[in-house]
Amino acid sequence: MKNIVIFGAPGAGKGTQSDCIVEHFGLTHVSTGDLLRKEIADQTELGKRIKSIMDAGQLVSDDIVVEMIDKAIANDTKGMLFDGFPRTVAQAETLDKLLAKHGRELTCMVQLEVPKDELMHRLLERAKIQGRADDNEATINNRLQEYNNKTKPVADYYAKQGKQVVIDGLGKIEDISKRILDQLEKR
């Protein structure tokens, strides 16, 4: 059973590439971004608390996302793709513990590498189509800063475990998918 993390800066294509990975290996897709946006759309108590944090481009607190992931692992029987989680080293350590609690282990982490100017371009393009509250230039800059300060160290965490798979995230979506699947077939 495969348990995979897809990792990268905002706009690197995590959500986009998740579709083909999930389909190819028959995995359960868990996107913390999607779960959090659903809480906001449903106007739950949690959604009201996190809206201003996400609109500002900051990370929501670890305990909130960890609880969501714990529930998702408990409900899964197929193997999982974690999209947008972990985003801090503390979340990465917790993921290892949660998987172990359910008798599982992380297979590997797929890291999408995309230069900053392309990230900005993609997210501003998405803003025109989807109108997401956090896709504007000021907020994107905050999200990239949060990524550099808090999320990037997660890559070293997995490199030390020999679980980091770095993928060039530039080019056609289907070419990038092929690069990812070729690597994952070997794991």
Which chain residues interact with ligand B4P by CB under 6 A? 8, 10-16, 32-33, 36, 54, 57, 59-60, 65, 84-85, 87, 91, 122, 126, 134, 143, 173, 176
Is 132 considered catalytic here? yes
Residue with structure tokens 């798979």? 165
CB of 78 to ligand B4P, least distance (A): 21
Is 14 considered catalytic here? yes
Which residue is catalytic, options 116, 132, 150, 163?
Answer: 132
CB of 143 to ligand B4P, least distance (A): 5
SS (H, E, C) the chain: CCEEEEEECCCCCHHHHHHHHHHHHCCEEEEHHHHHHHHHHCCCHHHHHHHHHHHCCCCCCHHHHHHHHHHHHHHCCCCEEEECCCCCHHHHHHHHHHHHHCCCCCCEEEEEECCHHHHHHHHHHHHHHHCCCCCCHHHHHHHHHHHHHHHCHHHHHHHHCCCEEEEECCCCHHHHHHHHHHHHHCC
User: Which CB, 103 or 111, lies closer to ligand B4P?
Assistant: 111
Is 37 considered catalytic here? no
User: Which CB, 22 or 33, lies closer to ligand B4P?
Assistant: 33
Which residue is catalytic, options 2, 49, 104, 126?
Answer: 126
User: Which CB, 13 or 164, lies closer to ligand B4P?
Assistant: 13
Is 87 considered catalytic here? yes
User: Which CB, 64 or 79, lies closer to ligand B4P?
Assistant: 64
- Supply the residues annotated as catalytic: 14, 87, 126, 132, 143
